[in-house]
Chains A and B, each alone.
Chain A
Amino acid sequence: GAVVSQHPSWVICKSGTSVKIECRSLDFQATTMFWYRQFPKQSLMLMATSNEGSKATYEQGVEKDKFLINHASLTLSTLTVTSAHPEDSSFYICSANRQGNFYEQYFGPGTRLTVT
Chain B
Amino acid sequence: ELKVEQNPLFLSMQEEKNYTIYCNYSTTSDRLYWYRQDPGKSLESLFVLLSNGAVKQEGRLMASLDTKARLSTLHITAAVHDLSATYFCAVISTSGTYKYIFGTGTRLKVLA
Contacts and interface: CB of A to CB of B under 8 A. Distances in A.
Nearest to B44: A107
A46 interface: yes
Contacts of A41: 107
Given A110-B41, A110-B42, A44 B30 contact: no
Contacts of B30: 103
B42 A107 contact: yes
Contact of B97 (A45, A49, A105): A49
A84 interface: no
A113 B41 CA distance: 13
B42 A43 contact: no
Contact of A43 (B48, B99, B105): B105
Interface in A19-56: 34, 41-46, 49
Interface of B: 30-31, 40-43, 45, 48, 88, 92, 97-105, 107
